Amino acid sequence: MGNSDSVSLGSHTGNESVERLIYSQSDRPTLRWQESLKRAIRTPKELLKELQLEEAQVTFSHKGLDDFPLFVTREFVSRMKRGDSQDPLFLQVWPQGAESQVVPGDLKDAVGELGSQAIPGLLHKYQGRVLLIASGACAIHCRYCFRRHFPYDQSPKDLAQWDKAFQHIAADPTIEEVILSGGDPLSLVDTKLQQLIRKIEQIPHVKRLRIHSRLPVVIPSRITTELLEMLRGSRLAVWFVLHINHVNEIDDELGDSIAKLRLAGVSLLNQAVLLRGINDSVPALESLFTKLIDLQVMPYYLHQLDRVEGASHWEVDRERGRAMIRELRARLPGYGVPLYVKEEAAEPHKTPL
Ligand SMILES: *Cc1c(COP(=O)(O)O)cnc(C)c1O
Ligand code: SF4
């Protein structure tokens, strides 16, 4: 079952050496969030033990674990209910038996991303925005993830290797926004991130920086003073898109980190994925969106699941999704209801359902 004694960060390719990025400053003291990564849970056995669950209480598939091992931080696990095999946070990281089902129509590259990679690690699919794969690593492995089959090992890992991406952005004045994504861009250390952001700031026609990250959710202490200063001091308008699927993912520590980002002048949005058995009910979505707007995080997108191999058991029928959104509109302020969208390979934008 996986390598419990390894201290490597979660990586989509299992064997990718991301430590070079994460621990590039070996003379610096290890930060609290890096300690969290080292102490993360990496084996099914360890997770069951932590949650006081018996093997007989869960279904299990080993099939996806070689490419995409179990990986979850203790902070995230601490918000799961002990002894509950149906806990909505547990189910997001647990390799269920259904993962081994292959359903006709499932694709490895479900959203046709490989075709829009002009430069390795840079996706220029929509007008005015480019998406930079800043890191292939994540601090949690979400079993439904559409990026789980992405060839991160072919993406740049060093700043020098980003040169082609920066050249592409600099040569195209229509690009006004750079989206740092991944994997998770906040799995980079602050010094690397700062270098990356400086490079982007040097391109005059870029006006906005967007960061897509789930890291503050699984390790709230990732919102360091250095990071806050970097974002506050940037000439770019900074938008931060969190990824939270269930209200139980939000605890006080995450609330504090969100408040700090807000005070640093960062605008906050959230994207969620509609997942069967996790958040596919009006009350579940209502409590998530309500909690988010109370924290001044605007629900941005609710994604219809991408048809990725090994994840079809999560899919929610679109008609049911639409009906839930209609119901939510009658219950919440307009800004509390996200756009329900699907990513279609050939479309120039996310498609509202
Ligand atoms: C989703 C996505 C974006 C951002 O789209 P918005 O609608 O602006 O949030 C940009 N590039 C790619 C490749 C995407 O998949
Ligand atoms: S959903 Fe986000 S955080 Fe989770 S595995 Fe995928 S890229 Fe990483």
Average pLDDT over all residues of the chain: 88
Residue 137 has pLDDT above 70, yes or no: yes
**What's residue 204's pLDDT?**
98
pLDDT the model gives residue 312: 86
Q: What percent of the chain has pLDDT over 90?
A: 73
Q: For residue 274, give Cα distances in angstroms to 143, 255, 318.
A: 13, 22, 10
Q: Best of 71, 93, 184, 211 to mutate for ligand 2, by most ligand atoms within 8 A of CB?
A: 184
- Report pLDDT for 307: 79
Structure tokens, 88: 């909505």
- Best of 146, 179, 298 to mutate for ligand 1, by most ligand atoms within 8 A of CB? 179
pLDDT of residue 119: 86
Q: Give residue 174's pLDDT.
A: 98
Residue 25 has pLDDT above 50, yes or no: no
Reported as a single tens digit per residue, the pLDDT across 82-101 is 999 999 999 999 999 888 87
- Per-range mean pLDDT, top range of 58-67, 114-123, 268-277: 268-277
The closest ligand to the CA of 300 turns out to be: 1
pLDDT of residue 162: 86
The ligand 2 site (C-beta within 6 Å) comprises: 138, 140-142, 145, 147, 182-184, 214, 243
**Ligand 1 center to residue 55 CA distance, Å?**
40
Dig out the tokens for 193 from the structure.
């991130």
| Pocket (CB within 6 angstroms of ligand 1) | 123, 125-126, 129, 131, 179, 343, 349-350
% residues pLDDT > 70 (the chain): 83
Instruction: Could you list the beta-strand ranges (E) of the chain.
Output: 117-119, 122-126, 129-135, 177-182, 208-213, 237-243, 267-273, 298-303, 339-342, 351-352
For range 227-252, the mean pLDDT = 98
Question: SS3 of 213, please?
Answer: strand
- Would you say residue 15 has pLDDT above 50? no
pLDDT band of residue 188 (cuts 50, 70, 90) is: very high
CA 51 to chain CA centroid, Å, is 23
The confidence score (pLDDT) of residue 100 equals 81
Cα 298 to middle of ligand 1, angstroms: 17
pLDDT category of residue 221 using cuts at 50, 70 and 90: very high
What's the per-residue H, E or C state across 40-104?
CECCHHHHHHHCCCCHHHCCCCCCCCCCCCCCECHHHHCCCCCCCCCCCCHHHHCCCHHHHCCCC
pLDDT digits (tens, 9 = 90+) for 98-118: 888 766 666 666 556 666 677
Going by alpha carbons, the residue nearest to atom 6 of ligand 2 is 145
How many angstroms does the Cα of residue 51 sit away from the middle of ligand 1?
Answer: 36
- Say whether pLDDT at 9 is over 60: no
pLDDT score at 67: 83
Of all ligands present, the nearest one to the C-alpha of 141 is: 2
**Nearest ligand, measured from the Cα of 139:** 2
Residue 30 Cα to ligand 1 midpoint, Å, equals 33
**332 pLDDT exceeds 70?**
yes
Q: 139 alpha carbon to ligand 1 midpoint, in Å? A: 22
Substitution candidate for ligand 1 out of 129, 177, 212 with most atoms within 8 A of CB: 129
